[in-house]
Amino acid sequence: MPMPTRRLGPLAVSAIGLGAMNLNYAYGEPCTPEEGAALLNRAIDLGCTLVDTAALYGNGENERLIAAAIGHRRAEYRLTTKCVLDVIDGKRSLDGSPAQIVRTVEGSLARLKMDFVDMVYLHRLDRQVPVEESVGALVRLKEQGKLGAIGLSEMSAATIRRAHAVHPIAAVQSEYSPAVRNPEIGVLATCRELDIGFVAFSPVARGLLAASVQAADYVPGDIRAAMPRFVEPTLDANLALVARYDAIAAEAGCTPAQLALAWLLARGDDIVPIPGTRSIAHLEQNLAATSLAIDPALLEKVDEIMPPGALRGARYAAAMQAQIDTETFPDEELAVMTS
C-alpha cells in the first residue's frame, strides 16, 4: 500500500521522509556502507520518497553514501541537501556568502554524482550576510537547472518573510516534536500564511521519545553529550517526564516514536517529519506511523504532559545556539558562553 503524500512547495513527497544524517554523523561511529545502503534501499522499498542530507554531514560522506547506495534509484525519491554549513579546510564553517554557497552546492552535486537536486536548504542563517543575498545565490543555481526548490533551516518567521520576498520558499525545516515546540511561536503560522511546507527534523527528540535515551552514557562523537537537556543535572527530570509519555504510547498500542510521528502528522497536512535511524526495524515502525489510527484524546494527553517548555535544559550548547535563528520561548533555558 503506497504511503500517503504531502506537498513541500512544488514537491510531492511521502508523509514521512528519512533524515539520513545519523547514518554517519553526529551520533558516534558511522554505520558501514553496507548497513547504510541496506537502510536507504529499504526506505525506498517501503514507499519513502523524501531523503534529506547535507554537505556538513560526515564532511560529505553522507552524500557519497547516498550516491553509492541509491543513486541508481534516483527516479524513485526526492533528494534534499543543504549549504551554508560546510567543512572547509578541515574545519566546520558557517558561510552564507554567494560564492561559498555556489562552491558548497557544486561540491554536493559532485559527491552525489548528480547534476540536479530537488531542493537545497540554507542550513543556518549567516548573520554576516543578508539572507536576501544567500537566497539570491540559490535562485541563480536554480536558473542554471541545478536545483528545483529552495528551503530554509532553523530560521525565524521574520527571516522566512525576507527570504520568501526574494523567491518562493518551498519548505522550512526546524526541530519539532511533542518535546520541542519552538516552531509554534511563529514559524508554523508564517509558513501557512505563505503556503510553505514544514519539515520536522528530530521528530522523536533525538531519541528521547524513542525509548533510546536511558542515561547520559553516550559513545564518543555523540552530539547529545554536549546538549544540556541530555545530560545531568537535567536529564533525570526529563526522563521522568518521558516515562509518562511512554505510558501514553503503551495505551495507544504503538511505540513511543510512532506516537511522536502520529502527533506531528495530526498537527497539519503541511508537516512532513524526517526521522533518522540506523535500524531497519525502527525504520519500518516509523514509516508505519502513517497508517496508525490513534485516539485524538491520547494525542491531547501528550499535550497535557508536554506543553511548550516542558523539557528542562537548553536545546543546544551555547556555540550551537548562536547559529540558530529560530524563536525561543520567553522562559526557555539557553546555554551561556563561558570564557
Give the whole-angstrom CA distance, residue 61 versus residue 72.
17
The cell 561511529 sits on which residue? 29
The cell 525519491 sits on which residue? 77
* Coil vs helix vs strand at 216: coil
The DSSP letter of residue 58 is G
Cell of residue 143, nine digits: 536558473
Q: How many CA atoms are closer than 13 Å to the CA of 301, on its beta-carbon side?
A: 17
Which among 57, 121, 176, 316 is annotated as catalytic?
57
The cell 552546492 sits on which residue? 105
The DSSP letter of residue 16 is S
Query: Burial letters for 238-276: b for 16+ Cβ neighbours within 10 Å, e otherwise?
Result: beebbeebbebbeebebbbbbbbbbbbbebeebbbbbbb
Amino acid, res. 119: M
Is the Cβ–Cβ distance between 83 and 45 less than 8 Å?
Answer: no
Is the Cβ–Cβ distance between 249 and 201 less than 8 Å?
Answer: no
Distances (CA, A) of 86 to 122, 206, 262: 11, 22, 33
Cell of residue 261, nine digits: 510521528
Give the whole-angstrom CA distance, residue 172 versus residue 186.
12
The DSSP letter of residue 57 is G
Active site residue 57: yes
Give the whole-angstrom CA distance, residue 202 versus residue 309.
16
Catalytically active residues are: 57
